[in-house]
Structure 1
Amino acid sequence: MRYWWVNHKQTSKQELGGGYLWSPIREASGARSQFYDNMRIATPGDAVLSFSGGVIRHLGRVADFASPAPKPDSFGAVGDYWSASGWLLPVAWEELPAAISPKQIIEELAPLLPAKYSPIHPESGNGNQKAYLAEISAALFEKLTGQILAEAPQSVLQASTTKALASIDDSIATQVLQDPGLDATTKQQVVLARNGQGLFRSRVFGLEQSCRLTHVRTPALLIASHIKPWRSCSTAAERLDGANGLLLAPHVDRLFDKGFISFTEAGQVLVSPRLDPNDLTRLGLAEACATGCAPFSERHAPYLQFHREKVFLK
C-alpha cells in the first residue's frame, strides 16, 4: 500500500462530494509534473489524505486506477488555465473524527516529509506551490492519523468508482443533449453510444466480425467497446465512429477498458505490468495475448494510439 497527500483547496468540495480526484495531465506550460504523474501511479487500496484550508479533514482510499477524463463541469471557473482533459482518480472518502492541523505539529512532521515533491513546506507548514498529489511515507501517515489502515472492502471501492465515472458521464450526456449544433437523432445516438448501443454498435459490426482475442462471433456475446473512451471523445463524430470501436467478449472488454491490455496497429497485444499474469491464464487468454490478432486498419490507428498513451497502464 502507498500513502498519498493531496492539496486541493480550490476543488476539495467538488472532489470530496464526487468521490474522485482530478488533475490535468501536464502543467499549463506543457511541462510534466510529478504531482500529476502520481495520479497514474496511485493504485486501488492506497490511502489519501485531503489537505484543504490548512487542515486535513478527510481520509480517502483509491478506488480504481486513474483514467482519462475531461475537467469536471462542477469546477466552474476554477482552474480556467488548466487543460480541458486530464486524469480522473476515483477515491472513496470519509470524514475524520477531528481535523488535523499539520502547521501545529510541523516540527514533528518536518523530518518525515519527502525531501523532494513535499506537499507542504517543512518550516511554515503551508502547502507548496504547484503541489497536488504527493506520495508520503507510512511513518508520516501514522504520525498524522495515529493509524495504519487495513485493506479496504472491495464493495466500497467499486461503489466509489461507479459514482465518480457516472458523475462525469452524466455531465457529458447532459451537454450532448443541450448541444444546439446536433439534431435530435444524433443526440440520441451519441447518448446510446455511451453504452455501446445504437448506431455506434451497428457501425462497429460493419468493420469487425468477432472478438479480436477469443474469436467469438455470436452478437449477443459481444460488446461494442470504444477504443478512445466515450468520455474522452471531443466530438459526436468520434463517439459514433465505428473505427473507434472493437467487438470484444465481456472479459476481454473489461481488460481493455481498464487498461490492462492494449494493441499495436500490427495486432500485437500489450499486457500491463500491473496485471497479474496468472489472471490471464485463469481467464484463458494467455495464449491469445501471446499470439496477437489481425492487423488493424488505418482508421483504427489514432484511436489505438490514444488508448496506448492514455488508457493502457504502464
Structure 2
Amino acid sequence: MQLKAAVSGGEPVPVWLADAVRRSWKIDLAGRPAAGTVLIRATGPYKISRATWELNLGCDYDCVMCYLGEKRFEGLDMAGKRRLLEVMTEAGVIWLQMTGGEPLIDPDFPAAYRYAHELGMQVEVLSNGSRLHKDHVLELLVELPPSKMSLSVYGATADTYDTVTRNRGAFERFSAGLDKAIGAGLNLDLSLIITRQNAHEIDAMRVWAKRLGLPFREYANLSPTIHGTAEPLPSQSPEHLTSRAPFTGCPAGVTFFHADPFGRGSICKVSREPNIDLIAEGTDGLARLGSIAESLMLRTGGCNGCKLSDSCRVCRPMAKVFQEAKAPLHHYCQHGMKETA
C-alpha cells in the first residue's frame, strides 16, 4: 500500500525498499521516483498466484522416459502468446513456470520471456540446458535473470547421458552450458532424473552436483504419458522408487493452473481435461477451474470405495493415467504394494 501511494503521489522510493534493494542487488534507488521504478500489479479476481506454461511440446531430446509421448512442435503464435500472458496477469499470476517440451528452442521464447518480465512476473524456467551454451540465450538470461532455473540431469558421462536422451553430443552441450550459467551467476538447481539406463551413475551425479555447489532433487518415480500410455514405465529403476507421502489435497485449479501450448487452461499438467480456452474466454473462464478441480479429485472408477483412500499416495488424476496405461498396481497403489511385499 505504501508503494502504491508513492507511485500515485509522485513520491520517491521508500527508504525501506531502497535499503533492501541495495543489500540484495547492489542497486541504488535512493531518491528515485517510485513511478517508473516500481511496477504495481492490480489484484486478481481469484486466489490464483501461480501458473505453469508449456510454450510447446517440441524438444531437441528424445528421452526414453519422457511423459509427453509424441513431442509435436506446435501451438500459439507470438500474438497468442502475448494474449495468454496478459490473461495470466489479469488472473493474478505472480510466479510463472515456463516449460515445454524444451522452452529454450521455441523461437518465441526470448520475446515471451521478456514480456512476462515486463508484466511483473517472477519467472522460473524448466529446461534440459541444451541451449545454455549459446551466447544469445545466456545474454538474455543474464539481462533478465530468472527467479530460478531448474535443469534436468540425465547422467554423469557422455555415453549414459546421450543414451538416455537419444541425442549424440547432448552431454557435451549440457556441460558447457551449465558451466557458463554458473559463471554468469544464474540461480540454478538440478533435477537428477533416475532411470534404469543411468541408475549406475546416480552417485556420480550427486557428486557432480555437490562439487558445483548447486541444490538438487532426485526423481525416480516415472509416470505414464499425458495420453495415458505406458511407454516411459519400462525405464523405471525399481530399486530407486520412493514412497510418496499420503495425498491430503492439492491447490491445483484453486491457487494455480496449467496452460498448454494452445492456451488451454487446466488444473495441472497431469489432468488436462476439462480445459478452458483462455484465448477465447480470457480471465472469466478461470472462474470454472475450482469446480473442475473438485470434480476431478473425487475417487472414481477403480478407486471408488477403496478402504485405503484416506492414506492414498496419489491424486485421482495421477491414478487415472496409471490406470489408462494399464500399469502394474505397485507403481501407484497401496494394494499393489501389499501384494508385492
TM-score computed with the length of structure 2 as normaliser: 0.21
**Higher strand proportion:** 1
